[in-house]
């Protein structure tokens, strides 16, 4: 199956290149960034050995949808989307903290809870909860990157005490994160979905906070179906998730959690096709339309042409 695993351009006014787990990031003069969302897939801070066709397109298009829908709450980095896999935007100094908002006890929070933890990132968790049960109100459980690159839990108090952010900055970003989550929740509800949890990343540009990275995508968020949520919860059965969590679950079932000495299981064509189907399903559920799969014929050349057209169209501040 065709997929966009990586790019290697030298663009006009390019001054730096960085390859992340999923994205290829080209920094240009005048604080412009070109981000190519490739079809690579990562879990437990490891890039898996097989790329997933159309995954980059799905993530990029859904991220653009949410960036446009939330720009009334806080300005964001986007300038344009010149290609299904590409967004051009404004560079910002990233804040080294991710603001994770959770409304349900699932994923990492559930694993901590199941092991007996009743505090997560300084937030006290109620006793007697079951997996996938809703909290009374959304909670914020920030994380920060350690030198190893792994996400590390951190409390709001620790963020302030370590001088990563001031108390005023924390208060502002907590407020913005909750408002973004409310907007995402309302949007998901209209699609018959529940926004379970998500993360937001922010940066500073010209002295002001802006929203950066992806927003409300399946890689940064979890979704349940509204229709069967209560029924499955009452039966203590797993929720059908529209998120990347199913990939993590498959890896854990096959003995991989990113720990030393563990080996990534073989990604057979059937597994890859299953992941493609689930991502396409999520795209349809969130966007309300069927994915128009882009052609991979001459994709490297087509991407470069579209990027150059987008760069030429920029009006600088």
* Distance from C-alpha of 1 to C-alpha of 242, rounded to nearest angstrom: 23
The pLDDT-based confidence of 279 (bands split at 50, 70, 90) is confident
pLDDT score at 1: 57
The mean per-residue pLDDT over the stretch 227-236 comes to: 96
120-157 confidence digits (pLDDT tens): 999 999 999 999 999 999 999 999 976 555 679 999 99
Which residues have CB under 8 Å from 260's CB, separation 6+?
none
pLDDT score at 166: 96
pLDDT score at 218: 81
pLDDT score at 245: 77
Q: How much is the mean pLDDT over the chain? A: 93
**Residue 316 burial (CB count, 10 A):** 7
pTM of the model: 0.88
The pLDDT-based confidence of 282 (bands split at 50, 70, 90) is confident
pLDDT score at 104: 98
CB of 99 closer than 8 Å to CB of 172: no
159-171 confidence digits (pLDDT tens): 999 999 999 999 9
177-229 confidence digits (pLDDT tens): 999 999 999 999 999 999 999 999 999 999 999 999 999 988 889 999 999 99
pLDDT score at 59: 92
pLDDT at 317 over 70: no
pLDDT score at 236: 94
pLDDT score at 248: 87
pLDDT at 91 over 60: yes
Percent with pLDDT over 70 in the chain: 97
**Residue 4 burial (CB count, 10 A):** 25
Pick the more confident residue, 175 or 220: 175
* Distance from C-alpha of 169 to C-alpha of 59, rounded to nearest angstrom: 29
pLDDT score at 215: 93
CB of 84 closer than 8 Å to CB of 294: yes
The pLDDT-based confidence of 13 (bands split at 50, 70, 90) is very high
């Amino acid at each position: 199956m065709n997929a966009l695993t990586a790019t290697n351009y030298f663009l006009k006014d390019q001054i730096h290149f960085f390859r992340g787990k999923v994205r290829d990031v080209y920094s240009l003069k005048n604080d412009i960034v070109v981000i190519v969302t490739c079809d690579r897939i990562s879990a437990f801070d490891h890039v898996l050995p097989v790329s997933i066709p159309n995954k980059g397109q799905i993530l990029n298009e859904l991220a653009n949808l949410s960036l446009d829908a939330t720009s009334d709450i806080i300005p964001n980095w986007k300038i344009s989307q010149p290609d299904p896999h590409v967004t051009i935007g404004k560079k910002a100094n990233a804040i080294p903290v991710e603001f994770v908002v959770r409304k349900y006890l699932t994923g990492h929070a559930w694993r901590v809870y199941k092991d007996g933890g009743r505090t997560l990132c300084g937030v006290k968790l109620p006793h007697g909860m079951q997996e996938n049960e809703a909290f009374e109100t959304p909670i914020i459980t920030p994380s920060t990157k350690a030198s190893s690159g792994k996400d590390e839990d951190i409390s709001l108090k620790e963020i302030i005490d370590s001088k990563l952010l001031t108390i005023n900055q924390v208060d502002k970003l907590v407020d913005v994160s909750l408002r973004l989550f409310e907007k995402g929740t309302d949007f998901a509800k209209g699609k018959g979905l529940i926004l379970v949890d998500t993360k937001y990343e922010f940066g500073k540009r010209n002295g002001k906070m802006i929203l950066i990275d992806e927003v409300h995508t399946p890689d940064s968020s979890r979704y349940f179906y509204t229709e069967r949520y209560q029924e499955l919860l009452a039966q203590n059965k797993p929720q059908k998730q529209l998120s990347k969590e199913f990939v993590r679950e498959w890896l854990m079932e096959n003995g991989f959690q990113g720990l030393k000495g563990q080996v990534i299981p073989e990604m057979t064509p059937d597994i890859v096709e299953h992941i493609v189907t689930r991502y396409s399903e999520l795209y349809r559920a969130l966007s309300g339309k069927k994915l128009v799969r882009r052609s991979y014929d001459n994709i490297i050349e087509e991407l470069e042409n579209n990027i150059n057209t987008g760069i030429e169209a920029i009006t600088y501040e």
